[in-house]
Structure 1
Amino acid sequence: MNRKGSAVVLVTVFAVNFLSLVYQVIWTRNIMAIFGSTALSVSTTLTVFLSGIALGGYLGGKWIRKIDNKRRAVGILLAVLGAYCFFVGYLFQVIDLIFGLFHGIESAVLTNLLKLFFTFLILIFPTTIIGSIFPITTYLYSVETGKLGKDVAFIYFLDTFGAALGALISGFILVPMVGLRESSFISAALYILLGILMFVMKGSAQEAAPARQAQAKKPVQLDSVRVFILAALFFSGFSALVLEVVWARYFHLIFGTSIYAFSIVIAAFLMGLSIGSFLIKRRLENMKNPVLVFAYIEILIGGFALLVIRSSEWLEVLYYKLFYLIDSFYVFQAALFTIAFVIMLIPAALMGANFPLAIKIFGRDTETRGEDAGLTFSFNTAGGIIGAFAAGFIIIPLLGLEKTNFLAFAGYLAIGFAALFIAKRQALHYAVCTGAAVAFITGGYLFGSAPSLNYGVYYGGIRHKTIESFLNYKKRMESEITYSKHGFYGLVSVRYNPATRETQILHNGKVDATNSLRDMPLQVMLGHVPLFFHKNPERVLNIGLGGGFTLGAIKSHPNVKQIDMVEIDPLVVEATGRYFREFNNDALADPRISIHVHDGRHFLKTAPNKYDVIVSEPPNIWVSGVSMLFTREFYKIVDDHLNPGGILSQWVPGYEMDVDDLKLILRTIKERFEYVTFWMLKSDVIIFASHTEPVIDPAYIAALLQVPKIGSDVNVSLSESTPDAVISFLSEPQVPFEQLDYYFTGMNSVNTDNLPYLEFNTARNVFHLRKELIKSNQ
């Protein structure tokens, strides 16, 4: 094989997997825009993506033996892939329209099956092509050397290294700065360019000969060792994806839940895989007993994986110190990437080393090297599909992070001991491996600490002036936790502070709602403000439950006849119903209220009803996916589902935004509604939007204040429950309606699904604003 041809193959491997991660991010957000930001939508996308990869790996291995000009075949595949990706955005639009025809279906099972079907329809073709590239390029690169294991290791190194960079570049540059649509077009063009490059390269005689001989030579049959390797790869893939899900959630509880945190954790894991495959490359050909090495590596993966999740206490301390030490947001993110990379390095590198080792063991002969790579790759990926789904939807909700991590450790241990049996080793090896397992368990529990992450250092922890203050507060707070469960969307906790009699609900270590007087004004006035203006609010939609205080305010209005309450996390509904009833007007116990556990945007988009008032109280905007409730497309959905004279009331965390962020939101809303303004309660913002100019009716407000709950809420919020106090508040927004256009002069951007400026702006601005607050308090 000439050097030029080899270089093109290697560049192709790297680029294809770089772009595949870019597309995974893009397609996931496209699917979320259509089907909602639910855990099932994200998991469905990942399942279909990996299924296509597995199918492509299998088919690519089969095709390679029947094709004479393999380079040209790869070129055609890549050109077709690029052409498809050029138009896939339009396919998403078509699917969105078709899916709209099924909006009347009430069965959740049938709806989810339709989502899976449509996702499969869009993604199975391109992902199958992506998956087929691995076995074909493996064959092309190894055809002259005959050293399948060594060459697979190098191909797998480029595969995972490209994917790691793809995760970083898409999360930090392409999506926030270029946009989804433009990034898709650029990536499609690169696929076509790679295809042309591969198409014009001439194949060698060595590449074509095996294809002509393939039918004449009977393939080597699978023996017990090879069957075991396929089974081991399947269960290793299962355990690896379980660990990836566990570690992603673990690091998110420490680093935060922004798309930046997601990108660096996934990239760090993939980078570890790439290093492992690179390091084992030179050692594969000289191994005397590769099955024995495979056994030891599996046991070591499990052991070191056990230690990862026992690092939480010192990891939180390190996060705190780095936050105070580093002033640059991007340098800080680089430091977090380094931390995640170092912590996951050994187990991830061992995973990366064991995959090419398994292919080395499985390899039958030179003619089947591509088929062998594809078959082993597809079995490993198939295990990963089931592992990812099971971890997120079954195992973690049942067992929690630490026990799920231990389950994966046990899985690797079982594979390792099974490999020892296959290798027919003496008792000494069993004793060594048993001793290693005991040492890992003992070391983890003696020198590490159980992950106790109900109070996140990334949010509340860094507000403490010293690390000792944070640790002491965290220790006391953890002792006051009365409810703590891991679910589809992370960790939901409830804390009761007996000293202050304050009850808090926390989501992924961040306080979302409390019954304290400092938080109550915003929580209740968000519901009251639009209902003071609208005289006949028969049907109301409330997006986001929190502690149920806004819902409790809405239900206190006598003219409201029906309320749809939409909350994406079932654990929030459970915790609020159990611990906040006495504080939120028993918000969930009312025959007028229908509770829907769903994504708010998708629910509204598919709702057959129109509303008089829509109240939106989502989580903080920097939380991944939440910005879809602040885009041009969302406000169109709101507009389409408001009755004449209808009102939108939306909460915005002013304390986490700079002025331009708020202007961006208002500018985006003003595209759709003529009358837009906002009020501030301390640093919280209540946005008002309508097509109808609001009218303050003193008599109507006076009548509402006679309702005990409404009068009490107003007294808490405005210090007195008189009509004059309410009228004074309502008539003095931060910016009068007629001056709003002047207020955001110079703000020409809008927040869209394609280019979600707000999600990334707020993630960066939260970092800088906290740094400024800390400096001002010193």
Structure 2
Amino acid sequence: MASRPVSALPFFVLAFLSGTAALTYEVVWAKTFALTFGSSTLAASASVAGFMGGMGLGAHLYPRLVEERVHPLRAYAALEFGIAATAALFSAGFQWLPGLFAAAADWLPGGVSLDVFRVLSAMSLLIVPASLMGATFPALCLVMLRTRSDVDQHLGWIYGWNTLGAAAGALAAGFVFIEVLGLRGSVALACAINLLVGLAALLLFRIREEGRRPAPDSTEGIPTRLPAGTTGLVLFAAGFATLAYEILWFRALRYLVGNSTYALSLIFVIFLLGLGVGGLIYRPLLRRVSAEALLGVSQLGIAVLALGAIFAEIFILGDYALSEQLSVFSPLVQAQPWWKRLLLSSEIALCIMLPATLLMGLAFPLASRLFLGSLERLGRRVGFATLLSNLGSIVGSIGAAVVILPLLGTVTGTTAVAFVNLGLGILILRHSQSPPWWKRAAAAAALVLCAGALFLPTRMPFRGERAAERVATELVFEQEDDLGTVQVRAARRNPENRVMLIDGSMIAASRGFLEPFDRKQTLLAHLPLAIDGSLRRTLNVGLASGSTLEAIAGHPELVTLDTVEINPAVAKGAAFFSESQALGDPRARLFVEDAVHHLLRSPEGYDLVISDGKQNKDYSGNSKVLSWEFFDYARRSLSGCGLFVHWIPGNLDGESFEIVVRTLLDVFPEVEIFVDGAESVLMVGSDCPIGGRRGMSQSSFVASGGAEQLGEFGLGQVETLKALWVAGRPGLEAILEPGPLNDWNHMPLEYRNYRAPGGKQKDARRNLEWLVEAGGAGPTPQWVRRLGPDVEIARIVREALLLRMAGEDSRARGLLREAVADHPDSLLLRRENAKKKSIGAKKKLLRDPS
């Protein structure tokens, strides 16, 4: 008996909204893992394995456990209610993960066993809600697919609209939900969407389906020449390739669009957009071409277009004029308003990714249709097809992050994955009744791939920040992985002068090369000991070139010199700097792991924790180490009166700068801030009063090499270092207005810095004036007053600096000349007085490419 036709539109709306909620959860959970679990491959692996594995498992188990017992539309409603309940419940469990991992470190041996425990713990929180999400797909298919015609008309659209909903969820979560509502609020909103979808499904059941069970025509076949085993292999391998491309292109596109939260969200959305639209074009194409031929040709197309995408980026990066117009690392682009930079990034990502992702989105419904064979046991076949595809996706994402990227890089890695699609295309077309031209198409695709493998460069021609080009440099080290692309460049005229970059942003320089980096790295090592000479056990968060470690290793009284570095490529790149030889000091230990994990599991208390919170517009990865939780973990790791010293750039936009200061004040009862120049701010926190301690002697400073290292900057005296003090807690609290903190639930720094208007010099001047005002708003501590003329000298230097930043060079020089006459022995004053150009003129000079 023929079943009455079912209007598809309401079900497509349900699929869209369900996808929106699902990707909101995934974005929130991935971000939570990156924070609580560690920003590492291990975190990404746990997130992908839990989410994709759970969805595949749910799709596979649903027909076996539910199909014969409950009407599929009622089951679909129950699944949506279950997703809301379990997502809320298990999301609440994420807050316990850091403590759980720390406790496990006490009774589990380190290494693989602890990593396995972390992955399994994380997966256990995802598996239930993700399984329920996965079960919604076969449930909806059982509602809508009753005839072969339904399969041809609706299967691709169910997948397509669900994926477009996922793209909408990723867009809303990345741009609006998380910033406005926070992580917990975003989960609550996604739960509300699931509840709404469940109620709508029940309403649809009562209106049109009550008392009826959809009965697919089990006698109607879906003929295919492809063996079931071959189609299953295609589902798995195509899922592998799709997620491998996602990981590889996320890394590759950062060379053009940067590493900001906005840019990465856009890449993810556009990738999903291509997959969703690809599912929607399944229906019209299937009317014209056989499913086998269409699937085979789509695989060949993916191979060629994927290689074309990488070639396009290589061409842009290799052409100086194009790179200047399109790369976010170009001063031309960085000067644009944030929304224009974002629009440019979206256009680039669309042009590069969309053609190939359209065909990827077409592949899953095509392969699933061929895998069905008939409408008999429809739910089981759809569920098993989803499981195979998701298992391939898990292997692809983890394999790309752990194996392909580190070993092959983005260019060769993309070429290797493209050969997988080429092989699938040839395999499919051999089994299909395809016209003779398919052999020519396959040969052409193979020729293109072989040519790419032979002639494309093995690496992207990526330079990154123009600051690295202040002098002519050449690349001496590069490694790509999921944490970033680490480069070391050496000056051609003096190869001992080197810089290190991550994703195009400079993070370190050799001693004596590029003064701001050299000065900051050295000051971080010696200022804490000028404050308190009794410090013995130290931890440096971040290795970079090893300059800070080398400087602090000059103090023989220190007994522990620990360093934690999350990126293995940074540890390898550090070997190209002579400063890293300090790792050979018997007191030095290097831990390659996430800093939060190290702080949580470290059983011994540190007397000193040094951290470097780099931040710029197009790189928001360090927002985590500027958070309330990170500050709190650092505080817990300190001995009774230990010091936490955190460097931040003085040229953050004003609101972001105040957020960081406000967050630190909320964690540490004692806070003092020191300023060196305009762009180097050192915040010191402790549970005990910071000033008035007995610092190292001048003779110890000289013996450590610190007096010589900092003497060239006019900071060769212990008292001069202490005189860099500018404000303490009372003054900061007096002028700091109530406002947000930067914590793991709400992390405004991820978003604010990208949207901040250009003008680092203006921001640096504003922040320095704000700190000077804070210093005047509170009482000057007794220990500062005891420093004598050094305090007045530091004040004059700051005042002259502010005049220079305002372009009033003549007034600044006059002020400094008078001060030199009053304090002729001050090296700091003489050095500042020797500077002839204004800050603005120097900045312009440094921006000009060599």
Letter in 2 for 1:495: R
Letter in 2 for 1:637: Y
Cα deviation 1:689-748 (Å, max 9, x = unaligned): 1222234578833132231522222213x3252x3xx3133134232443121242x242
Instruction: Identify which range, 674-683 or 514-523, moves more after superposition.
Output: 674-683
2:670 maps to: 675
2:292 equivalent to 1:297: no
Take 2:685 and 2:388, find their aligned partners in 1: how far apart are those partners? 53
**Contact 1:67–1:208 under 8 Å retained in 2:** no
Map 1:270-419; keep pairs closer than 5 Å: 270-287=272-289, 289-316=290-317, 318=322, 320-321=324-325, 324=332, 327-419=336-428
Take 1:185 and 1:30, find their aligned partners in 2: how far apart are those partners? 15
Is the partner of 1:644 in helix, strand or coil?
strand
**Contact 1:54–1:378 under 8 Å retained in 2:** yes
1:467 maps to: none
Is the partner of 2:169 in helix, strand or coil?
helix
| TM superposition shift of 1:776 | 8.9
Cα deviation 1:734-778 (Å, max 9, x = unaligned): 32443121242x242211110001122123237664999899959
Is the partner of 1:609 in helix, strand or coil?
coil
1:733 maps to: 725
With over 3 angstroms needed to count, the CA separation of the structure-2 counterparts of 1:360 and 1:774, relative to structure 1, is farther
Take 1:80 and 1:428, find their aligned partners in 2: how far apart are those partners? 50
2:172 maps to: 169
Take 2:213 and 2:441, find their aligned partners in 1: how far apart are those partners? 47
Take 1:192 and 1:100, find their aligned partners in 2: how far apart are those partners? 36
Take 2:150 and 2:695, find their aligned partners in 1: how far apart are those partners? 87
CA RMSD, aligned part only? Answer: 3.1
1:181 maps to: 184
With over 3 angstroms needed to count, the CA separation of the structure-2 counterparts of 1:434 and 1:135, relative to structure 1, is same
Is the partner of 1:587 in helix, strand or coil?
helix
2:518 maps to: 520
| TM superposition shift of 1:118 | 0.7
Map 1:80-119; keep pairs closer than 5 Å: 80-104=82-106, 105-119=108-122
Cα deviation 1:164-220 (Å, max 9, x = unaligned): 121111111111222001111111122112112212322656995456998xx8999
Is the partner of 1:643 in helix, strand or coil?
strand
Kindly name which structure, 1 or 2, has the bigger radius of gyration based on alpha carbons: 2
Q: 1:151 is matched with which residue: 142, 154, 160?
A: 154
**Contact 1:482–1:495 under 8 Å retained in 2:** yes
Is the partner of 1:735 in helix, strand or coil?
strand
Take 2:316 and 2:841, find their aligned partners in 1: how far apart are those partners? 21
Q: 2:701 is matched with which residue: 690, 705, 709?
A: 705
Map 1:56-135; keep pairs closer than 5 Å: 56-63=58-65, 65-104=67-106, 105-135=108-138
Take 2:546 and 2:457, find their aligned partners in 1: how far apart are those partners? 34
Map 1:571-650; keep pairs closer than 5 Å: 571-576=569-574, 578-581=575-578, 583=579, 586-620=581-615, 623-650=619-646
Letter in 1 for 2:591: H
Take 1:730 and 1:185, find their aligned partners in 2: how far apart are those partners? 49
Q: 2:661 is matched with which residue: 666, 670, 680?
A: 666
2:743 equivalent to 1:752: yes
With over 3 angstroms needed to count, the CA separation of the structure-2 counterparts of 1:112 and 1:439, relative to structure 1, is closer
Letter in 2 for 1:654: G
**Contact 1:621–1:759 under 8 Å retained in 2:** no
| TM superposition shift of 1:2 | 8.9
Take 2:431 and 2:15, find their aligned partners in 1: how far apart are those partners? 33
| TM superposition shift of 1:641 | 1.6
Letter in 2 for 1:756: M
Q: 1:742 is matched with which residue: 730, 734, 740?
A: 734
Is the partner of 1:28 in helix, strand or coil?
helix
With over 3 angstroms needed to count, the CA separation of the structure-2 counterparts of 1:498 and 1:704, relative to structure 1, is same
TM-score (norm 1): 0.90
With over 3 angstroms needed to count, the CA separation of the structure-2 counterparts of 1:517 and 1:268, relative to structure 1, is closer
Q: 1:235 is matched with which residue: 234, 237, 262?
A: 237
Instruction: Identify which range, 267-276 or 62-71, moves more after superposition.
Output: 62-71
| TM superposition shift of 1:439 | 4.1
With over 3 angstroms needed to count, the CA separation of the structure-2 counterparts of 1:428 and 1:157, relative to structure 1, is closer
Take 1:237 and 1:774, find their aligned partners in 2: how far apart are those partners? 54
Is the partner of 1:272 in helix, strand or coil?
helix
**Contact 1:246–1:405 under 8 Å retained in 2:** yes
Structure 2, unaligned stretches of length 5 or more? 764-839
Matched-pair identity in %:
24
| TM superposition shift of 1:526 | 0.8
TM-score (norm 2): 0.82
| TM superposition shift of 1:365 | 2.7
Structure 1, unaligned stretches of length 5 or more? 465-469
2:685 maps to: 689
**Contact 1:19–1:187 under 8 Å retained in 2:** yes
| TM superposition shift of 1:228 | 1.0
Take 2:315 and 2:277, find their aligned partners in 1: how far apart are those partners? 25
Cα deviation 1:524-550 (Å, max 9, x = unaligned): 111211121122212111111111111
Take 1:314 and 1:734, find their aligned partners in 2: how far apart are those partners? 49
Take 2:694 and 2:112, find their aligned partners in 1: how far apart are those partners? 49
2:531 equivalent to 1:533: yes
Take 2:225 and 2:210, find their aligned partners in 1: how far apart are those partners? 28
Take 1:759 and 1:228, find their aligned partners in 2: how far apart are those partners? 45
**Contact 2:102–2:597 under 8 Å retained in 1:** no
With over 3 angstroms needed to count, the CA separation of the structure-2 counterparts of 1:58 and 1:767, relative to structure 1, is farther
Take 1:134 and 1:775, find their aligned partners in 2: how far apart are those partners? 60
Take 2:684 and 2:274, find their aligned partners in 1: how far apart are those partners? 48
Take 2:458 and 2:592, find their aligned partners in 1: how far apart are those partners? 31
| TM superposition shift of 1:267 | 0.9
Take 1:36 and 1:498, find their aligned partners in 2: how far apart are those partners? 38
Take 1:5 and 1:221, find their aligned partners in 2: how far apart are those partners? 26
**Contact 1:65–1:370 under 8 Å retained in 2:** yes
Take 1:669 and 1:738, find their aligned partners in 2: how far apart are those partners? 14
